[in-house]
Structure 1
Amino acid sequence: MTESFGALNWSILGIYIVANLLLGFIIGRKINTSDDFYLGQKQTPWWAIGISVIATYVSAMTFLGAPAWAYSDGLSVIALHLNYPLVIMAVIIIFFPFFYNSGVASIYEYQEKRFGKRARGLVSGIWIISQIMSSAAILYGTSLVLSFITGVPVTWAIIIVTLIALIYTMMGGITAVIWTDVIQSVILFAGAGIIMYALISTGDTSIGESLSTLKSQGKLDPLNWDFDITEETTIWSGIVAMTLYHITVYGTNQMMVQRTLAAKNIGDAKKSYLLMGFCAFFIYLFFIVLGVLFYDFYQGREFENSNTIILQFAADYGMPGLMGIIAAAVMAASMSSLDSSFNSLSTVATVDFYRKYLKTDATENHYLKVSRLFTVIFAVIIVFPAIGYHLFSEGSILEVLSKVGSYFVGAQMGMFFLGFFSKHTSENGLIVGTVSGFIIVALVALNSDVAWPWYCLIGATANIVISTVASLLIDGPSKRYSEYTVIGQQRYFKANNLAEKEGGWYKVPGRVDRVNYLLFGFFLVTLAFLFSIQFLVS
């Protein structure tokens, strides 16, 4: 690929990488404290945070992985991504008030307030492990791009990409993360738009003929109503299992939530997530349709690595500068996820462990230095599982990333669900239940054909049931709801005559802002649209 990449493409890629580093340097000059590094100065506009949220989770995993997944499984992959309106509703109604009102930098401080230090350490540790593994998948995906276009071995590409993302993250903290994400999103979607136009305009048949052929091949069936839990892309796994999975991703994941804590107020924090709620369906549908159209264009031919399909098409199309734009878009968008990961891992390690147990009374400048040191440490650690993915994984990296996360999200979901709603769960019972839930998920994964989207529901259910029973046996029933449950918070606001709203947005958990009804209506419309597809194509 090196010979065909050319000076123009190299220039585009080089300029874009330098621009990211330069932006990190400029923003880094304003970082004076550890709070600046974690939260900025709470002056970031909501729309920038919202775009950053979209860019971080969509990123190159969708750019590469969604077309690859849809190439093999067809339009049914969209079933796993139609749940975002439900997810965002749950997160901004229940999760955000707890996190934002407390003014925390690490969302896992909530677990200590609700249960105790051991619970906080447990959930923080679980998240760190899962984030390292998922970030490694992202790093692997990015490195595939660099290797594909330059011929550099994937292992070396992993190291190079890590260094680039590490440098500007160390300098600029969360503010650099957000603003580089905004710029990277524009490039990512511009590149995807060009690919879609080229794909439609260069085919040998009309789009109508292509869709008819794809329908006859079973590639245009978006809703699989089968109750078989061994299948991944059914409507039930999308609405039930993956709703819980994504609630955990968006509600209990420090990487996703941390940027919303940099918002000016809770209204801006909620609006930033609502942007994802209304946009995610269209974004995923776009990339999944790309994969289906690629199947028609390449007549279903097999690729050595399906994640490079979109890059192969860009190379085949031959538009001057297109490979440079695509390479820059994928690399930069992937690095936007990596920088978020580095920053959030550093935050949790510093706030939840170092600052709490090792050095409790140091200066802000000291904690800033430690945060940057942890950023380096985690960047080095993530390299090793990324190389492992390269050696042992051949499927869609979006699917790989989702599978990795599915082993951990059940524990996180169970811990936060019990924190928000349970009256009797104690710290001792919670630890017993969480460990038991992990064991049960592992046994299910190793000894059954149950599809991975259901691991979250299985793990969370086991955690909730066992934690509740163990709490009653070990510590007995509680006489009242904790102040840090939903009911406890509502009673606290009422007893202290506190305003439930700020700027027209609810601060108390469990209260529904009006826009959520619109979001739910949007979910129903998307479901109806997918149902109608089978009748629209003849």
Structure 2
Amino acid sequence: MRSFDYYTLILYILGVLAIALVSAKRNSNQKDMFAAGRQAPWWASGLSGFMTMFSAGTFVVWGGIAYKLGIVAILINMCYGIAALLAGYFVAGKWNQLGVTTPAEYINLRFGKIGLHFYTWTMLLKKMLAVAVSLYALAIVLVALIPLDEGNFFRNAATGNLSLTWAVIFFGLIVIMYTMIGGLWAVLMTDVVQFIILTLVVFLVAVLMIDKVDNFDELVTTLPETFFSPTSGDYGWFFLFGWVTINFFIIGAEWAFVQRFLAVKSPSDAKKSTYLFGIMYLVTPILWLLPPLIYRGVNPNANPEQAYIMAAQSVLPVGVLGLMFAAMFSATASMVSSQLNVFAGVLTNDFYRPLMNPNASGRVLVRVGRIFTAILGLVLIMGALLVPIMGGAEKVVISINSLMVVPLLAPALWGMFSRKIGIKEMCIVTLTSFAIGAFLRFGLSIQSKDIDVLVGVLLPILMLIIFQRFSKNKVDKGWNAIEELRISSIEDLKAGEVARAFDTFPGKVVIVSLVICAIGLFFLTYMSNSGRMIITILGIGLLLISLLIHLGMRKMILKDKKL
């Protein structure tokens, strides 16, 4: 990267920290810290959920599949969109109706203390490991872009670039700081800013890649015959069905997504946020997987995992590479901050408060939540640094975690709709499905995506259907507790349906971010020798969008004054 790329990156980091400092003023109690006071705009919640699915691995893994196999990578990612639409229709509103501050609070009521401990520590281990691997992957990809002068303390002598260890520590500390300071408000608003940066970069890369191609007919002839097939290799229709099902349970029951359902004002807002998330994933995969698809025809001998980065580097003008760096950091930072916030909330609200300080004030709980965020973040950094040491063991652990997704999340979600499923059924479904899956994968060494779908997806659902069918006239005690809370929460929502002053904070963050990005793009037109017209049009488009948002905000403020 050149000096201007570094300036772009530094400006992005300062902007993220500034949002965290402003957001900190909105955290007066644990509900603000971990549920945004149930006042988050539905669009911010939806975009945040969309960003939570991203990481540096998105560009590496899915970009690599697009480069190798073609448009099947787009269909795989569209499955997220279908899953999100289904979760929005069936699940999101019900979560919001419960009136809980954290998803663990629901688990405690529905499945008792055993269920709470089982879910919390299993989910914590599973997600911290996955996020640590993502942080490590981000550092691996990005250190290659940061050469340092000889003698620099942060330099790796073998590569001449930024040391991987320092990259992990540096990136990890940034995420810890803004999550710890600003809570869920900071997570939501930085996710929105990160969405703007990410969309800006991937759109620019896609347009410049298209502009670079002189003859598309000639390009198509260089691609494999199966490149435009909707299925390819191990990724058949049965896998796509299983992928939709898996991600329906992830989006509908994994705590980072549930926290976004709880953060908005009403069940209808929870649904709208998830619908936005779904629509985005039905549309945008075409945009951000287009560069590696085209690059296959340009350079058929590239490393698939580096295809997206190489495609971007081949077309991006000076200065935008720093923005690309920021976009990739944003993708992983969104996922990391979401997990830090949700688990810090669980440890604060569902363990510290009931077990150590039942009468803790809101300020105390906010302070404790920040301490837990810092502790979890440091554990995360240590885990990322240990990934190379774990070697093959890390892959084994991730395989074990993948076997736990539906067996663990399906009973939790099923318990929201069925009065017959309790802690006993949950344990049987989870442990049986996991044991059979682990035996097939590690005992018999069967590596098949179809088998994974059968055992990891269909088996736990079939077991739940059997329990539902043959557990006649049973009402689990946890069901009664949840129904009482739901009824009370619905009554509170109706009683609280009074006009609130329009909150301008989220809109102002978006407007300022759009204007800064537009100014940066206009400046780039003087720095680059190519793509000037495209960059200028994109900058003008950002200014027009910011103007429309400003006019919409003025309309809402005037409406409030009339009321």
Q: TM-score, normalised by structure 1?
A: 0.79
Partner of 2:178: 168
Letter in 2 for 1:282: V
Q: Name the CA distance, whole Å, in 1 between partners of 2:69 and 2:293.
A: 9
- Segments of structure 1 that go 5 or more residues without pairing to the other structure are 225-230, 504-538
Q: Are the structure 2 counterparts of residues 422 and 416 from structure 1 closer, same or farther at C-alpha, using a change threshold of 3 Å? A: same
Higher mean C-alpha displacement, 352-361 vs 241-250: 352-361
Letter in 1 for 2:473: K
Partner of 1:236: 238
Matched, 1:219 2:227: yes
Q: Are the structure 2 counterparts of residues 373 and 420 from structure 1 closer, same or farther at C-alpha, using a change threshold of 3 Å? A: same
Q: Are the structure 2 counterparts of residues 423 and 182 from structure 1 closer, same or farther at C-alpha, using a change threshold of 3 Å? A: closer
Aligned partner (choices 144, 156, 159) of residue 166 of structure 2: 156
Matched, 1:434 2:430: yes
Q: Deviations over 1:462-488 (max 9, x none)?
A: 44566788999xxx95524458769x9
Partner of 1:14: 10
Aligned partner (choices 461, 473, 476) of residue 479 of structure 1: 473
Q: Deviations over 1:59-109 (max 9, x none)?
A: 433234321222223222233233345423432333224321121122133
Offset at 1:270? 0.8
Partner of 1:209: 218
Q: Name the CA distance, whole Å, in 2 between partners of 1:50 and 1:471.
A: 32
Q: Name the CA distance, whole Å, in 2 between partners of 1:499 and 1:184.
A: 32
Secondary structure of the corresponding residue to residue 28 of structure 2: coil
Partner of 2:541: none
Pairing 1:292-311 to 2, within 5 Å after superposition: 292-301=293-302, 303=303, 306-311=304-309
Any conservation in 2 of the 1:13–1:325 contact (CA below 8 Å)? yes
Secondary structure of the corresponding residue to residue 44 of structure 2: helix
Partner of 1:194: 204
Q: How many residues align?
A: 476
Q: Are the structure 2 counterparts of residues 470 and 63 from structure 1 closer, same or farther at C-alpha, using a change threshold of 3 Å? A: closer
Q: Are the structure 2 counterparts of residues 322 and 368 from structure 1 closer, same or farther at C-alpha, using a change threshold of 3 Å? A: same
Q: Name the CA distance, whole Å, in 1 between partners of 2:7 and 2:265.
A: 38
Matched, 1:449 2:458: no
Q: Are the structure 2 counterparts of residues 434 and 206 from structure 1 closer, same or farther at C-alpha, using a change threshold of 3 Å? A: same
Pairing 1:357-436 to 2, within 5 Å after superposition: 357-390=355-388, 406-436=402-432
Secondary structure of the corresponding residue to residue 115 of structure 1: helix
Offset at 1:400? 11
Secondary structure of the corresponding residue to residue 403 of structure 2: helix
Offset at 1:498? 12
Q: Name the CA distance, whole Å, in 2 between partners of 1:463 and 1:450.
A: 19
Partner of 1:513: none
Aligned partner (choices 114, 117, 126) of residue 118 of structure 1: 114
Offset at 1:27? 1.1
Offset at 1:36? 1.0
Offset at 1:386? 2.4
Any conservation in 2 of the 1:135–1:382 contact (CA below 8 Å)? yes
Instruction: Give the RMSD, CA atoms, in angstroms.
Output: 3.5
Secondary structure of the corresponding residue to residue 49 of structure 2: helix
Any conservation in 2 of the 1:414–1:461 contact (CA below 8 Å)? no
Any conservation in 2 of the 1:62–1:284 contact (CA below 8 Å)? no
Q: Are the structure 2 counterparts of residues 194 and 465 from structure 1 closer, same or farther at C-alpha, using a change threshold of 3 Å? A: closer
Partner of 1:88: 84
Secondary structure of the corresponding residue to residue 58 of structure 1: coil
Offset at 1:331? 1.2
Q: Name the CA distance, whole Å, in 2 between partners of 1:140 and 1:320.
A: 27
Partner of 1:526: none
Q: Name the CA distance, whole Å, in 1 between partners of 2:436 and 2:347.
A: 28
Partner of 1:257: 258
Higher mean C-alpha displacement, 261-270 vs 441-450: 441-450
Any conservation in 2 of the 1:343–1:375 contact (CA below 8 Å)? yes
- Identity across the alignment (%): 23
Matched, 1:270 2:271: yes
Q: Are the structure 2 counterparts of residues 320 and 497 from structure 1 closer, same or farther at C-alpha, using a change threshold of 3 Å? A: closer
Q: Are the structure 2 counterparts of residues 299 and 249 from structure 1 closer, same or farther at C-alpha, using a change threshold of 3 Å? A: same
Pairing 1:139-154 to 2, within 5 Å after superposition: 139-150=135-146, 151-154=161-164
Q: Are the structure 2 counterparts of residues 21 and 237 from structure 1 closer, same or farther at C-alpha, using a change threshold of 3 Å? A: same
Any conservation in 1 of the 2:238–2:450 contact (CA below 8 Å)? no
Any conservation in 1 of the 2:83–2:247 contact (CA below 8 Å)? yes
Offset at 1:144? 2.5
Any conservation in 2 of the 1:130–1:405 contact (CA below 8 Å)? yes
Partner of 2:543: none
Q: Name the CA distance, whole Å, in 2 between partners of 1:120 and 1:411.
A: 16
Secondary structure of the corresponding residue to residue 116 of structure 1: helix
Q: Deviations over 1:284-340 (max 9, x none)?
A: 233333222222221233x3xx44333333334461112111111111232122111
Partner of 1:32: 28
Matched, 1:354 2:352: yes
Q: Name the CA distance, whole Å, in 1 between partners of 2:96 and 2:359.
A: 24
Partner of 1:510: none
Any conservation in 2 of the 1:143–1:157 contact (CA below 8 Å)? yes
Any conservation in 1 of the 2:110–2:422 contact (CA below 8 Å)? no
Q: Name the CA distance, whole Å, in 2 between partners of 1:58 and 1:50.
A: 13
Q: TM-score, normalised by structure 2?
A: 0.76
Higher mean C-alpha displacement, 251-260 vs 425-434: 425-434
Any conservation in 2 of the 1:143–1:158 contact (CA below 8 Å)? yes
Q: Are the structure 2 counterparts of residues 386 and 497 from structure 1 closer, same or farther at C-alpha, using a change threshold of 3 Å? A: closer
- Segments of structure 2 that go 5 or more residues without pairing to the other structure are 147-160, 498-563
Partner of 1:248: 249
Offset at 1:154? 2.0
Letter in 2 for 1:67: G
Partner of 2:544: none
Q: Deviations over 1:96-129 (max 9, x none)?
A: 2432112112213323333322112212222212
Q: Name the CA distance, whole Å, in 2 between partners of 1:347 and 1:39.
A: 9
Q: Name the CA distance, whole Å, in 2 between partners of 1:389 and 1:20.
A: 27
Partner of 1:228: none
Partner of 2:551: none
Q: Are the structure 2 counterparts of residues 130 and 440 from structure 1 closer, same or farther at C-alpha, using a change threshold of 3 Å? A: same
Partner of 2:151: none
Q: Name the CA distance, whole Å, in 2 between partners of 1:257 and 1:264.
A: 14
Higher mean C-alpha displacement, 376-385 vs 173-182: 376-385
